[in-house]
Amino acid sequence: MYFLYKAIGKEGKLIKSYIEAADEKEVVKITKKLNLNLVFVKPVKSIKKEKIKSKDRLIFTRLFSRLVKSHISIIESLKIIQQNIDSTSFKNIINNIIGYIEKGDSLSRALERYKNVFSPFYCAIIKAGENAGQLDLTLELLFKYLQFSENTKKKFQSALFYPVFVLITAVVILSLIFVFVVPQFKALFSMFDTELPTLTLFLFGLSTFIKDNFIFIILFLAAVGVLIKIFLKTRKGARFRDRIIFKIPLVGRLIKESLFAKFCQIMALLVRSNVNILLSFEIIEEIMNNSIVKDKIRSIREQVKNGKSLAESFNTSQFFPATIVQMVKAGEEAGELDKMLVSAAEFYEENLSVKIELFSSILQPALIILIGLFIAVIVISIFLPVFQLGTVIK
């Protein structure tokens, strides 16, 4: 049963959060253990999902890793981390996790109560570390993976920021030209009895259409956007999107390589944490956000379950490149699968960084040239009649 509670913390700040407990008396006990002065509590049917930034989760994991490595107890470590986290929501969640552990929960069980903050993958890794008595090593590996994910995300965002900004700016400028500038020239040229070039007539016709139907065009595009969003949320829509993404020139290859690197990183982490190989594939399948990759991983898992070797299963999937297949085979034979997967992840991470920079360096000038061509066509369309008017005036 979940409860919404409000309490006064050590620094006199009001804390508002959710907690799982048997009844209100247990909420009182938990908050007392956390040195909180309870001022309000009520049962709720469901809890509101609290959004935690990936940056805060990264800081949490890094600090936790260092503190546990320094032989500081889990509860004391969590209390120290709580003081170093800026997010009030996250502070409250850590508060509750401490309460659950003091009540008898394991760390992994306490984290599992906040699935919107700590993914099943995160909890599975922590659980494996607890069972193996290697929580410090597990947290360190987990931090490296989260750092890799965050860096990859930032590289993609950085590569796309400038092109997207240029594209949006260009659309706004071209819209203003069509709605306000071109009609002025159309009115000017209509004063002269002269035949306009086909290109100019097309430009004026397009401008008139956009100006007369501007609101309807915006509404139509918004409606199309909403319908596409709804369609992509369906199973068929997701599969269609995932297939198309891989076929986009340059972008498709970048996304594939980022997925290869992500897969190798996660698999290596799970193998090092002594997670069962079949369970590892289940966890990875859940983490991957591409339906095509999910299907391939599910297929590999079934083949391994039926007795095939990892390398043979990877090869049969016809999705993973020969580099990964060969490294998996070598690691499987030498009993060093985790090391080989780490090497493969590092290879694809470095390769990905180079290709993202290359993609960015190609996309930026390509967009500028494309926008320049659009503007050039508009300018030519407007100035062609000007030359004709010069002839008429003479």
Alpha-carbon span 329 to 327, nearest angstrom: 5
- Contact between 64 and 140 (Cβ < 8 Å): no
Class of domain 54-134: mainly alpha
* The CATH number of domain 2-44 is 1.10.10: no
Q: Going by C-beta distance under 8 Å and a sequence separation of 6 or more, which residues neighbour residue 69?
A: 136, 139, 140
Domain boundaries, the chain: 2-44, 54-134
Q: Going by C-beta distance under 8 Å and a sequence separation of 6 or more, which residues neighbour residue 2?
A: 18, 19, 20, 43, 44, 45, 46, 47
Q: Tens-digit pLDDT profile for the chain (394 aa)?
A: 778 888 887 667 777 777 777 788 888 887 777 677 888 888 877 666 667 888 889 999 999 999 999 999 999 999 899 888 888 788 888 888 888 888 888 999 999 888 888 888 888 888 888 887 888 888 888 888 888 888 888 888 887 788 888 888 888 888 888 888 888 888 887 777 777 788 888 888 888 888 888 889 899 999 999 999 999 888 888 888 888 888 888 788 888 888 888 888 888 888 887 788 888 888 888 888 888 888 899 999 999 999 888 889 988 888 888 888 898 899 888 888 888 888 888 888 888 888 888 887 888 788 888 888 888 888 888 888 777 666 555 4
